[in-house]
């Protein structure tokens, strides 16, 4: 399993960011986290994925950290992202 990175635009809505992650996972990868980085003097998201040998991960939900945890889901990541051009804390659940 190899790890790779994907950039995620800073102006995406939360729903579009979640869809982008799910789209990347559809190709046989699993989201592992995100960190902020600077490209062309703008803060963007740098997402970490790992290629899976087989199968696909359970569906991911991306929520603002201030939102209640969804029932029956486990938190897999928490950190800072820039969504709608605003930096906030987010959590990913499966």
User: In degrees rounded to 5, what are phi and psi of residue 72?
Assistant: 75, 5
Which segments of the chain have a pLDDT < 70? none
pLDDT (0 to 100) of residue 59: 92
pLDDT (0 to 100) of residue 71: 95
Task: Give the torsion sign (CA, 11, 13, 14, 18).
Answer: negative
- For residue 76, what are its two tokens? 């897999």
pLDDT (0 to 100) of residue 54: 87
pLDDT (0 to 100) of residue 55: 83
pLDDT (0 to 100) of residue 46: 98
pTM of the model: 0.93
pLDDT (0 to 100) of residue 77: 98
Tokens 């600077």 belong to 38
pLDDT (0 to 100) of residue 1: 74
């Amino acid at each position: 399993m190899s790890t790779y990175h994907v950039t995620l635009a800073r102006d995406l809505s939360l729903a579009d960011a979640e869809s982008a992650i799910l789209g990347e996972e559809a190709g046989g990868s699993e989201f592992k986290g995100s960190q902020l980085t600077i490209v062309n003097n703008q803060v963007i998201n740098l997402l970490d994925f790992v290629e899976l040998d087989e199968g696909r991960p359970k569906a991911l939900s991306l929520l603002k950290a201030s939102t209640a945890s969804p029932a029956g889901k486990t938190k897999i990541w928490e950190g800072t992202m820039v969504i709608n051009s605003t930096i906030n804390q987010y959590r990913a659940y499966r």
